[in-house]
Structure 1
Amino acid sequence: MVRWEPGTRERLQAAALELFTERGFEQTTAADIAAAVGVSERTFFRHFPDKREVLFDGQSRLVDAVVEGLRAAPADAPALDVVAAGLRAGAELFPDDLRGWARLRRAVIAEHPALLERERHKMAGLARTMRAALVARGTSEPAATLAAESGSTVFSVAFGQWIAEGEHRSLAELQTAVLDDLRSLTGTTPDRGTV
């Protein structure tokens, strides 16, 4: 077994997704994933607490990027424009070369109710964090909750479009389009100085 090699975490993620796709999530063990990469099962558990978390790794990076984007928005920006700034910052974590991996990941998650529940929990966590950041900026309730929940929904809808076959627009472009659709539903327009 290889004791250490650069990129072990990424290789474990790639192997896990391949095995989940070929064999199924339930039929794949952490030991299978480790063996596919040529490392010990202990090495797998040094990187991930369980096989489920291979699919959800990066959540904290996304939340941190979104919050940083929220904090960097102009102080006088409306709540939805602040959320747009946060989503734009988060979109930078999704380059086009990640799209194929994200499609496969979504397909694996869609087949398992427990994974779907984890995905929903992840999105709820993003909304809670955005709400707290908005409140910290001085946004009152219920505007903070409405903007944060809307932002989470915009991210989810845009992400679903981003991974669709044949889609070539960036996640940031799709988020802007979805947010524009939301604004048209509510009869509001963005402050183009902040979005």
Structure 2
Amino acid sequence: MQLYVERGFEQTTVAEIAKRAGLTARTFFRYFADKREVLFAGSADLQEHLMRALEAAPNSASPMQVVSAVLDVAATALGQHREHSRQRQSVINTNAELRERELIKLASLSAALAEGLRRRGVPEPDASLAAETGIVVLRVAFERWVSEPHGADLSQTMRTTLDRLKTVTTAR
């Protein structure tokens, strides 16, 4: 991360990353498919945590209540290191390929959540709508959280964003 911040993503090589980490490039490739994956390495673990939260939600919960429980778990997992997250996001924001990769990861997460909701008996389009809405809330809250270095924690920012969604969807 330090190299990406110091030199920029495009200018940083795998050899430099490996050297900074005290590894060989060959060892680097045992852990990461490419230098982009350094930024996205925890995606599979995050998805597993979120799916467990979805499965643990009470059967009586509405689709959005389930998604809210999932967002709480996401906030706990993602909200531990604001400065690291801020740096990571700044690297991603400066590179179109990384922004695309981030969107693909979020789309995969949304698809997994929608599938989990369907397994709970939520019909379409409700399952997809709730899952996509949850990912939008996650993305908007995360962006606000990393841009406000001394603001509320990610859990609170996530709840506030979900509340804002309720406000903007309520008829006046």
8 Å contact from structure 2 (residues 110, 131) kept in 1: yes
Among 153, 159, 165, the alignment partner of 1:170 is 153
Q: Which residue of 1 aligns with 2:9?
A: 25
Q: Deviation digits for residues 65-97 of structure 1, max 9, x if unmatched?
A: 11111111110111111100111112221244x
Instruction: Give the TM-score normalised by structure 1.
Output: 0.84
CA distance in 2, matches of 1:101, 1:63: 20
Residues 80-91 of structure 1 aligned to structure 2 (within 5 Å) = 80-91=64-75
Amino acid at match of 2:64: L
In the alignment, structure 1 residue 132 sits paired with structure 2 residue 115: yes
Q: Which is richer in helix?
A: 2
Report how many residues are paired. Answer: 171
Residues 88-103 of structure 1 aligned to structure 2 (within 5 Å) = 88-96=72-80, 98-103=81-86
Amino acid at match of 1:24: G
Amino acid at match of 1:114: E
In the alignment, structure 1 residue 183 sits paired with structure 2 residue 166: yes
Among 121, 144, 147, the alignment partner of 2:127 is 144
Among 4, 8, 29, the alignment partner of 1:45 is 29
What is the DSSP-based 3-state SS (H/G/I as helix, E as strand, rest coil) of the residue aligned with 2:77?
Answer: coil
Following superposition, the deviation at residue 181 of structure 1 comes to 1.0
Q: Percent identity at matched positions?
A: 42
Q: Which residue of 2 aligns with 1:8?
A: none
CA distance in 2, matches of 1:186, 1:107: 30
In the alignment, structure 1 residue 116 sits paired with structure 2 residue 99: yes
Amino acid at match of 2:47: V
Instruction: Give the TM-score normalised by structure 2.
Output: 0.94
Unaligned runs of 5+ in 2: none
Unaligned runs of 5+ in 1: 1-16, 189-195
Amino acid at match of 2:97: A
CA distance in 2, matches of 1:90, 1:109: 19
8 Å contact from structure 1 (residues 69, 87) kept in 2: no
CA distance in 2, matches of 1:68, 1:33: 33
Q: Which residue of 1 aligns with 2:50?
A: 66
CA distance in 2, matches of 1:139, 1:167: 38
Q: Which moved more, 1:136-145 or 1:165-174?
A: 165-174
Distance 1:165-1:176 versus aligned 2 partners, 3 A rule: closer
8 Å contact from structure 1 (residues 68, 89) kept in 2: no
CA distance in 2, matches of 1:156, 1:84: 14
Distance 1:105-1:183 versus aligned 2 partners, 3 A rule: same
